[in-house]
């Protein structure tokens, strides 16, 4: 189905509404911080939570007896962590058809200890005493496999029945297809509570859905890896391969990131964007270096951070591995690696619970002074798909990476234009290694780089997550210009110790 409407894409300076709490300027975002001198980016790896896995598979006979697979989402709503994941009850092998994947739900008060509530919504094993969510209409499981579910929460939606939105990836086996090859369909669902879901554009019915009826039918090899709403437009991300997508110059490709879009979550584009090609990409025989199902994303209003599978193929299945790589985007469509092929989160060794392969979901939360990142597992070195469970990685709040001097001499950067509302904006920093001999100096300039009166360089000598930057007599930046830049200098005898992680540009709200 083609999208029958047009979209006005919002530029960074025009996307500012009063509902936007802040711009985040990550150290590794070379669009937000384009101009640099004597600075390098160092990415950091999060530490795996020692209590992993935080969500384990269930006992024999349960809906997730074999796998509690994180092809899903974690959201924090009203102080509660909510998780949607793929539950599999039966053992399976690579390439198997007819597996028992269903979408299940779990919740937590702290993001560490999870429970699987008995929802009583969907039948399994002759009863409804389980944590499965419900769908209307239900899919015929002999023809479809619900393998993934990515969820958004939009409390501002005027229709209470649509405040939760799910893009659900399903493999269809058409009953008349003699080849028995699957078609991949993304089904959009709405929900008022995140538990009872209704297909977005078809009336409830009990008949099996035919693939020609579904509201979004991407080509048969599109596999979803993430979902977000970025600057007013919905995007689904995933992998496609030839014969449905080619490299820009027409050469064949495999496991390549593409993006489809919608403005209403019901009607989706059949056209797609070629969104990311891995730096070390190779797809030859079985010696593969590809991008697996990119990308699970974290919308930070002006920038999106994503994770994808760093697929390390091999001729021998026992040698295959998959780590997670880091991506960044400033338009929600085109993604890039801050450091090519950097293994942001590495699969565990043989014998560990997360051995040989990790899967990204969509689970990022800032909790106090830490960032939580949830991930799943897939043992690529086994012909029998391993028991899937959900793990947690933790790091300094927004501590994906930092800027520091290359050489032991002064360094500096200048930001892209930042919108300045009439009521002004405040600036906070996320930095480490600061002292009286390792100093960050901050000033505000016009778009031509000329200092604004009253906002000449001020010294910041204290480390922290949200260090306020204040000029004499001022707690915010105010000037009769629509946009400004920020210049940051790394100075002092020990300036090489400075680690700059991020800056937060906070517009003052009306009222």
- Over the stretch 229-240, which tens digit does the pLDDT of each residue have? 999 999 999 988
Three-state SS at 161: helix
Q: Is position 72 within any domain? A: yes
Clarify whether residues 316 and 381 are in a common domain.
yes
Q: Is position 305 within any domain? A: yes
Clarify whether residues 382 and 428 are in a common domain.
no
Residue 160 gets which letter from DSSP? G
Clarify whether residues 358 and 463 are in a common domain.
no
Contacts of 487 (CB under 8 A, 6+ apart): 412, 413, 414, 415, 442, 443, 444, 445, 449
Q: Is position 173 within any domain? A: yes
Q: Name the CA dihedral angle for 168, 174, 178, 183, rounded to a multiple of 10 degrees.
A: -30
Q: Is position 111 within any domain? A: yes
Backbone angles phi, psi at 452, to 5 degrees: -80, 140
CATH number at residue 481: 2.60.120.260
Which of 348, 377, 398 is a domain's end point?
A: 398
pLDDT tens sequence across 347-369: 999 999 999 999 999 999 999 99
Which of 398, 418, 447 is a domain's end point?
A: 398
Q: pLDDT at position 16, please? A: 34
Which of 398, 418, 442 is a domain's end point?
A: 398
Q: Is position 4 within any domain? A: no
Predicted structure pTM score? 0.91
Q: Is position 5 within any domain? A: no
Taking CA atoms, 28 is separated from 128, 296, 433, in Å, by 48, 18, 18
CATH number at residue 249: 2.115.10.20
Beta strands in 300-389 (DSSP E): 304-312, 321-329, 343-345, 358-367, 370-377
Q: Is position 379 within any domain? A: yes
Q: pLDDT at position 94, please? A: 46
CA distance 447 to 310: 39
Backbone angles phi, psi at 211, to 5 degrees: -60, -20
Q: Domain range spanning residue 465? A: 19-44+402-507
Clarify whether residues 358 and 316 are in a common domain.
yes
Clarify whether residues 80 and 32 are in a common domain.
no
Clarify whether residues 52 and 27 are in a common domain.
no
Clarify whether residues 280 and 409 are in a common domain.
no
CA distance 342 to 356: 17
Clarify whether residues 342 and 226 are in a common domain.
yes
If you search the block for the tokens 């880091």, which residue do you land on?
326
Clarify whether residues 56 and 130 are in a common domain.
yes
Clarify whether residues 230 and 267 are in a common domain.
yes
State both tokens at 331.
């338009």
CA distance 89 to 100: 6
Q: pLDDT at position 140, please? A: 60
Q: pLDDT at position 248, please? A: 87
Clarify whether residues 326 and 428 are in a common domain.
no
Q: Is position 7 within any domain? A: no
Low pLDDT (below 70) residues in the chain: 1-21, 91-99, 139-146, 172-184, 202-221, 283-287, 384-386, 510-511
Clarify whether residues 191 and 55 are in a common domain.
yes
Question: What is the total count of domains within the chain?
Answer: 2
Residue 59 gets which letter from DSSP? -
């Amino acid at each position: 189905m083609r999208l029958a409407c047009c979209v006005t894409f919002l530029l960074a300076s025009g996307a500012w509404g009063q509902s936007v709490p802040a711009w985040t300027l990550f150290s590794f975002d070379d669009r937000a911080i384009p101009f640099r001198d004597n600075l390098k980016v160092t990415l950091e790896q999060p530490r795996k939570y020692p209590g992993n896995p935080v969500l384990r598979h269930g006992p024999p006979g349960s809906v997730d007896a074999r796998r509690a697979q994180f092809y899903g989402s974690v959201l924090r709503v009203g102080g509660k962590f909510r998780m949607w994941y793929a539950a599999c009850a039966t053992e399976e092998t690579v390439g198997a058809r007819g597996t028992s994947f269903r979408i299940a739900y779990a919740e937590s008060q702290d993001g560490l200890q999870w429970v699987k509530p008995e929802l009583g919504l969907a039948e399994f094993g002759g009863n409804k005493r389980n944590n499965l969510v419900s769908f209307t209409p239900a899919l015929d499981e002999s023809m479809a496999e619900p393998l993934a579910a990515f969820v958004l929460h939009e409390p501002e939606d005027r229709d209470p029945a649509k405040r939760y939105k799910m893009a659900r990836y399903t493999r269809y086996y058409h009953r008349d297809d003699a080849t028995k090859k699957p078609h991949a369909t993304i089904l959009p669902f709405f929900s008022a509570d995140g538990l009872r879901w209704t297909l977005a554009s078809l009336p409830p019915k009990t008949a099996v859905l035919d693939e020609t009826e579904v509201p979004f039918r991407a080509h048969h090899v599109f596999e979803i890896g993430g979902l977000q709403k970025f600057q007013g437009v919905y995007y689904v991300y995933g992998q496609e391969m030839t014969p449905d997508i080619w490299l820009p110059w027409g050469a064949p490709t495999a496991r390549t990131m593409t993006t489809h879009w919608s403005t209403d979550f019901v009607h989706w584009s059949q056209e797609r964007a070629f969104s990311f090609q891995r730096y070390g990409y190779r797809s030859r025989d079985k010696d593969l270096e590809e991008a697996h199902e990119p990308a699970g994303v974290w919308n930070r209003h002006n920038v999106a951070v994503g994770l994808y599978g760093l697929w390390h193929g091999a001729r021998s299945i026992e040698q295959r591995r998959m780590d997670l790589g880091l991506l960044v985007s400033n338009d929600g469509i085109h993604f890039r690696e801050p450091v090519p092929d950097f293994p942001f989160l590495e699969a565990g060794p043989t014998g560990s619970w997360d051995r040989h392969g990790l899967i990204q979901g969509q689970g990022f939360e800032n909790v106090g002074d830490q960032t939580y990142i949830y991930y799943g597992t897939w043992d690529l070195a086994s012909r029998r798909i391993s028991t899937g469970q959900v793990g947690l990685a933790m790091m300094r709040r927004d501590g994906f990476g930092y800027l520091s001097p290359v050489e032991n001499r002064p360094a500096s950067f200048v930001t892209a234009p930042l919108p300045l509302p009439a009521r002004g904006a405040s600036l906070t920093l996320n930095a480490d290694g600061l002292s009286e001999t390792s100093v960050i100096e901050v000033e505000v300039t016009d778009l031509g780089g000329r200092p604004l009166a009253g906002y000449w360089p001020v010294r910041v000598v204290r480390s922290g997550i949200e260090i306020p930057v204040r000029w004499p007599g001022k707690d915010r930046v105010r000037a009769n210009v629509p946009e400004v830049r920020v210049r940051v200098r790394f100075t002092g005898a020990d300036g090489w110790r400075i680690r700059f992680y991020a800056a937060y540009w906070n517009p003052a709200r009306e009222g």
